[in-house]
Structure 1
Amino acid sequence: MSINLADIRQDYARQELSPDDCLSDPVAQFERWLAEAIEARVLEPTAMHVASVGDDGRPSARIVLLKGVEDGQFVFYTNYHSRKGSQIDAQPWVALTFFWPELERQVRVEGRVARVAPEVSDAYFDSRPYTSRLGAWASEQSSEIPSKAELVKRAAMFGVRYPLKVPRPPHWGGYAVVPDRVEFWQGRPSRLHDRVLYTLHDDASWRIARLAP
């Protein structure tokens, strides 16, 4: 590679962040930042990096779209039989990371994850485009397939089976992450970044502290 990666640097100077600037509840603070990211037309503001760990101790991560912030929980949807679903079944803890480079911001969330109620998954599934609903049936997510043609064939097969109303597959639905640790990061010059950490206490109160960058 002719490009020297060590020479790639970006200095950050848009804004500052202090614990005094933050709301008392981290989910409310996240919603404030998410609204600002959407207003700033950040590319894919709801995209989040979801990290999970299976019973073999190996971490795995991927980008998933946040689909709700409800009752203090972060909600996303996926195939329960996927690799992430299997890992969550084995170890019900995940870490989420949001990165909004246009605002020089990052949010990290850690917490326990569990499936949402079936009726919640049903309601979201029914709101999806028809072809996406067929895709949930056609894709045996994370499984090996012989070819793309086989996937297209399966989608067509389910299209014939469900020409109008597509029910939610039993292997597909939502997860909700209940946070117990949330960190807000604001880029600053000279790598002296601002980091504010919320930690949940046993009495359900949040402790707010500044971290060294």
Structure 2
Amino acid sequence: MSIADIRKDYRQASLSEGDVQADPFAQFGIWFQQALTADAAEANAMSLATVNAQGRPSSRIVLIKEFDERGFCWFTNYDSAKGADLETNPHAALLFFWTALERQVRIEGRVEKISAEENDSYFFSRPLGSRQSANASQQSQPVAGREVLEQQLQAVIAQFGEHPPRPKHWGGYRLIPERLEFWQGRASRFHDRIVYTRNADHSWSISRLQP
């Protein structure tokens, strides 16, 4: 089969202006819970797109760890490539794609670091191995081989045992959305697209986009 012939017709559901909540965070919460209930693979995985100082975009998969009316949070190494991008350009885009429900959510906005208290709260709730590896890895930096990584990890274990600290360069970001799009796949690529746009008074406008 040719790649050009690979396609799936989406027929599970529809989405209208009357279906959605007035608050985009409430609407996201409904869809996120439905993705969990449907046992969608890696329902908490999202693509994070950033832009570097040269204006070149890059994207990667990260895991959402919290969302509320303030925004959408994930955690990483602040010295990583995405951290460097966000230091230069504190705007980003998130994308959730739940194939089991034939849905996407696109989120765009400004990014800020969260507080040290929030960082500590999440870091010390993580499994021990994750806390150790956060100390051992200089994320996005070149390394001579896997054996060097293993040596760095063993050095952290020897130094801190079961009580590794939160590295100062490790923490969370929160994307404060300015635009959210809820995309429901429909037959013959005639999809439903409902968009929330933040107004100057922080209220939300809802509109439909053509597919």
TM-score (norm 1): 0.98
The one-letter code of the counterpart of 2:166 is: R
Deviations 1:106-135 (A, max 9, x none): 000000001000010001000111111010
1:164 CA displacement: 2.3
State the SS of the aligned residue for 2:72. strand
TM-score (norm 2): 0.99
Q: Is the 8 A contact 1:181 1:198 kept in 2?
A: yes
Residue number in structure 1 paired with 2:45: 47
1:8 CA displacement: 0.4
Task: Identify the match of residue 31 of structure 1 among 23, 29, 32.
Answer: 29
State the SS of the aligned residue for 1:164. coil
The one-letter code of the counterpart of 1:192 is: F
Q: Distance in 1 between matches of 2:68 and 2:194?
A: 23
Residue number in structure 1 paired with 2:177: 179
Q: What RMSD in Å do the two structures reach over aligned CA positions?
A: 0.7
Matched, 1:97 2:91: no
Task: Identify the match of residue 166 of structure 1 among 159, 164, 167.
Answer: 164
Residue number in structure 1 paired with 2:85: 87
How many residues of Structure 1 are paired with residues of Structure 2 in the alignment?
211
Q: Distance in 1 between matches of 2:130 and 2:58?
A: 25
State the SS of the aligned residue for 1:33. helix
Task: Identify the match of residue 11 of structure 1 among 9, 12, 32.
Answer: 9
Q: Is the 8 A contact 2:64 2:72 kept in 1?
A: yes
Task: Identify the match of residue 205 of structure 2 among 201, 204, 207.
Answer: 207
Residue number in structure 2 paired with 1:138: 136
State the SS of the aligned residue for 1:21. coil
Q: Is the 8 A contact 1:27 1:72 kept in 2?
A: no
Q: Distance in 2 between matches of 1:11 and 1:23?
A: 27
Matched, 1:112 2:110: yes
Q: Give the ranges of 4+ consecutive aligned residues of structure 1 lying more than 4 Å apart after TM superposition.
A: none
* Identical-residue share of aligned pairs (%): 47
Structure 1: gaps of 5 or more residues: none
Q: Distance in 2 between matches of 1:66 and 1:28?
A: 16
Q: Distance in 2 between matches of 1:17 and 1:65?
A: 26
State the SS of the aligned residue for 1:127. coil
Structure 2: gaps of 5 or more residues: none
The one-letter code of the counterpart of 1:162 is: F
1:200 CA displacement: 0.4
Deviations 1:68-96 (A, max 9, x none): 01343100000000000000000000000
Deviations 1:9-41 (A, max 9, x none): 100000000011000011110011000000000
